[in-house]
Amino acid sequence: MSYQRFNQHALSEWMRGKGPRSDIVISSRVRIARNLSGLPFPMLATSSQSAGIVRKVEEALRHQNRPQVMEGAELIRMDDLEDLEKRVLVEKHLISPQLAEESRHGAVVLSRNEAVSIMINEEDHIRIQCLFPGFQPQEAWKMADNLDDWFERHLTYAFSETKGYLTSCPTNAGTGIRASVMVHLPALAMTQQLNRLFPAITQVGLAVRGIYGEGSEALGNLYQVSNQVTLGQQEEEIIQKLAGVVRQMIQHEHGARNRIQESSLTKLEDRIYRSYGILSNARVISSKEAMQRLSDVRLGVDMGLIPDLSAQVMNELMILTQPGFLQTRSKQRLDIEERDIRRAGMIREYLSMKRESE
């Protein structure tokens, strides 16, 4: 187990890369839920059965013909981690909150570049997750599909001829696929168009969730858009439907940005630079306010209004300012007030350092 390797940098490689439409689309993800035949789902499995599932995945990964992306991959057991270490993996989107908080004999297999995350004993026995920078749902699906095919050659999945792949939650049965795209929609939020847009998206079978998925809050105008239906649809159909809707969202966000720039440029610049000034000078700042201010500045960067910063710097700060990372970097547990003070200081120092290096 080498957790420290995955804690050295705030951003995974998939977040460092600049993918297509990266001014609006932060990342694309495909997750495939699978269970092993003849074993109860994780919520009903005994301790020995859950431990056995981890061993089966380990044994599969020892095969010589494993996919190239899994060379050098490491398995990390949740029982070996402190709560803060688990929280950091959640903040990096490498594991789910459920795996961090509730799983028995939970584990995760991480590829070297962190583009692949395989959760074990979360809601299902195996959840294969592939992450790509920017708008690349097809590429994420191709990698996830290849990994799924490889695992299926070494493990026996629970499968029904009529229901497809069997999953703990019935809403995931069938293909077992959950495809999602994380989008940054500050202009649509500013123009109050999200209240009309999101209901229209849900009517076509997609869901809009917060930054960490189901049940999480939307921070910094970041949203995850994903499919809701997995049964009765082909995999490619699911991916294409999601991609089509996200393309429309990108067009709406670009349109909102252009309209704001044409009609209210001074007000837009004032908002962006006020947030920039607060981030550069604040002595105390909450996580929620930091994310909102970073969203404003990220918009300014993407629109070319702040030329001496990069989108990657904003991505890094959106991760570094989260509670788990903040406390891990401080090497101590911090209460809310201490975190708000430490967060403000870290942002000031980071922005100053990045400005000097540009």
Annotated binding-site residue numbers for ATP: 27-31, 93, 127, 178-182, 209-214
Residues 153 and 88: their CA atoms lie apart, in Å, by 33
CB 249 within 8 A of CB 224: no
Question: Position 44: which residue type?
Answer: L
**With 0-12 CB in 10 A as exposed, 13-18 as middle and 19+ as buried, what is 357?**
exposed
CA 187 to chain centre: 21
Residues 114 and 15: their CA atoms lie apart, in Å, by 9
Residues 94 and 89: their CA atoms lie apart, in Å, by 5
Between strands 107-110 and 116-120, the pairing is antiparallel
SS (H, E, C) 181-240: EEEECHHHHHCCCHHHHHHHHHHCCEEEEECCECCCCCCCCEEEEEECCCCCCCHHHHHH
Residues 1 and 67: their CA atoms lie apart, in Å, by 20
12 DSSP assignment: -
CB 226 within 8 A of CB 212: no
Give me the torsion for CA of 270, 271, 275, 280, rounded to 10°: -10
Neighbours of 347 (CB within 10 A): 22
Q: Binding-site residues, please?
A: 27-31, 93, 127, 178-182, 209-214
